[in-house]
Amino acid sequence: MIDLSTSNGQNAAATLENEFGKGRVVFIACDITKTDDLEKTFKKIVDTFKGLDILINNAAIFNDNYWEKMIDLNVKALIHNSMMAFDYMGKHKGGKGGVIVNIASTAALDPGYFFPIYSASKCAVLGFSQSLASMYDKTEVRVIIMCPGLTATPLVINMNSRVHDSIRSIVTKKIDGMENLPKQTTDNVALGVLNLIRKGKNGVTWISEFDQPPSAINFPHYSKRSFHVLSKASEKKSVMYSVQNKTIIITGAAEGLGYKYAEILVRNGAKSVTVVDLPTSNGQNALATLENEFGKSRAIFADDLEKTFRKIIDAFKELDILINNASIFNGNYWEKTIDLNVKALIRGSMLALDMRKHKNGKGDVIVPMYCASKYAVLGFSQSLASMYDKTGARMVIMCPGVQVQQHRWSQASVIRSVTPFALC
């Protein structure tokens, strides 16, 4: 049992030992968001018990006002735990195989608009776990995903306080009703996990709710819906939402897809496109290219997102469109990947929501961009989209396939030893 030193861990271990005997349960105090502490804890467990057979990643918090800590624990710590367990248990690293149970949530299956950031964290767990499960033939580590519904735990006490301050005013009545919904017992979830450890198939996602036995979720392959894309010959035709005279921010726009978005939008009449990227990027050259083709003041380069928001509002009195495009794809730097691809996207979106109608803005569009399997982006975006009737901010989610772009990805060593190429 691993938990914080301030938790009830010692008492919980004593209770279990009283019932089942000494030496059957060990409590180790550890902050699993701290890499060094976690690595020492894993080593201590393996040295004490001469191996590791099962890891249950259950630790989580649920409060959108502390969303950075929530991403650190619910996503980054879970990934770190899982990868260390792979090192100890995986056949590809000389282990004997084993089981990883990752606890997601029904919020990963049906992102609720009350808690967009919590939903994002649990969607990330779902996507990460399904990716790990696909390596079973090389690792012999079974990965099981459990999605509990509303359960009687401290996480669901005083739910209104767990809503992000910026959206509480538009969801309070809904939350009050949610707190009165029936909750399943913790015994039901725990017994379900036991049965899944015993006989659950690798990679299957299970839902546990209403005090019923867990049931498997069938994920249909995504279906494509065709969408008319403007060609040069037809770009002047009217569309539902015109970009004429719109003020736009695009992150990660110095090259690749981000630059192409900027070029297309300026060509189609955008008033101003701000290219946001690192100071070491190709941003200045991208700006010069856009200005040479479309004229001065049509494009701006900036390297600080929050200052950019203030600058845009001061200069143009409004922001119409945000495209969250910035991302990296590098398994060797996965913590930076989470920080940029998830945390920075959430931060940008929450800043942009200040333009929404219930804060006296006029709404308009937020477009979070990332590849098809980035569940955190998908879940967060779907959750925000469900608030449209209150915010007037339209959410558009783009899932590009593989594209040619340099300096954006590499594979972590653990992945490289399992399969020659895998897209996360």
Q: At what angle do helices 116-133 and 375-385 cross, to 10 degrees?
A: 150
Contact call for residues 383 and 411 (beta carbons, < 8 A): no
Residue 388 is a catalytic residue? no
| End-to-end alpha carbon distance in the chain | 30
Q: What is the dihedral sign for C-alpha 335, 339, 340, 343?
A: positive
Q: How distant, in Å, are the alpha carbons of 54, 144, 201, 268 from that of 198? A: 11, 11, 9, 58
Q: How many residues belong to the chain?
A: 424
How many Cβ atoms sit within 10 Å of the Cβ of residue 267? 16
CA distance 386 to 281: 35
Q: How distant, in Å, are the alpha carbons of 35, 42, 366 from that of 30? A: 10, 10, 39
Angle at 394 between CA 389 and CA 399, to 5 degrees: 135
Cα 213 to the chain's mean position, in Å?
28
CA distance 149 to 70: 19
Which of 24, 121, 14, 114 minimizes the C-alpha distance to 70? 121
* Catalytic, out of 66, 88, 113, 118: 118
Cite the active site residues.
Answer: 118
